[in-house]
Chain A
Amino acid sequence: MADIDTLLAEVIDGDADATTLGRVADLVRTDAATKDRFLAHVAIAGALRARYLPATRLADLRQRTLANLVSADDLAHTGRSVLDRLPARPAPAVRRSWWVPLGFAAAAALLTVVLLIPKTPPAASLLAGNDGAVLMRQRSLVPLTLSMPLNNGDRLTSGPQPLTLGFLDGTQVVLAADSALILERVAAGKRLRLERGQMQTEVAKQPEGEPLLALTTRTAVTVIGTQFQLATAKGSDFVAVQAGSVTVQRGADGALATVTGGRALVIGINQPLNTIAITTPAAGTPRGPLALSTANWNGTGSGLRGDYYADHKFTRLAGSRIDPHIRFDWPGAPLDTMPADHFTVRWSGRIQPRVSGVYTFTLRADDGVRLWIDGKPLIDTWNRPDIADQRGSISLEAGQLYDLQLHYFENDKAGEITLWWQAAGQTKEIVPRSQLYSP
Chain B
Amino acid sequence: MNDFDPMLDALVVAEVRGGNRQAYGMLIDRYQVRLRAALSACLLHSDEIEEFTQEAFVQAFVKLEQYDSAQPFYPWVRTIAMNALRMEARSRSTATRHAGDYLRQVLLERALDDTQDERSDARVHALDRCLRTLPSDAAALLKDKYQSEHSIAELAARHRTSEGALKVRLLRLRDRLRECIEKRLTAGIG
Residues of A within 8 A of B (CB): 3, 5-6, 8-15, 18, 21-22, 24-26, 28-29, 35, 38-54, 57-58, 61-62, 64-66, 68-72, 75, 82-83, 85-88, 90-91, 93, 95, 130-132, 134, 140-143, 159-160, 178, 329, 331, 366, 387, 413-414, 416
Contact = CB atoms under 8 A, between A and B. Distances in A.
A83 B66 CA distance: 15
A70 B46 contact: no
A82 B30 CA distance: 23
Contact of A414 (B147, B175, B189): B189
A366 B55 CA distance: 39
Nearest to B25: A143
Interface of B is mostly: helix
A50 B146 CA distance: 8
A79 B173 CA distance: 50
B159 interface: no
Given A9-B168, A414-B183, A46 B62 contact: no
B8 A134 contact: yes
A255 B181 CA distance: 55
A368 B142 CA distance: 34
Interface in B40-60: 40-41, 43-55, 57-59
Contacts of B1: 132, 159-160, 178
Interface in B58-74: 58-59, 61-65
A88 B37 CA distance: 20
Interface residues of B, number: 89
B171 interface: yes
B132 to A, nearest CB: 8
A58 B57 CA distance: 13
A408 B26 CA distance: 40
Contact of B186 (A90, A93, A134, A413): A413
A91 B47 CA distance: 7
B135 interface: no
Q: Which of A25, A57, A58 has the most CB of B within 10 A?
A: A25
B171 A8 contact: yes
B106 to A, nearest CB: 6
A159 B128 CA distance: 18
Nearest to B28: A62
Contacts of A331: 183
B161 interface: no
B158 interface: no
Nearest to A70: B62
Nearest to B40: A46
Contacts of B44: 11-12, 14, 42
B152 interface: yes
A61 B32 contact: yes
Contacts of B127: 44, 47-48, 51
A47 B152 CA distance: 19
A383 to B, nearest CB: 19
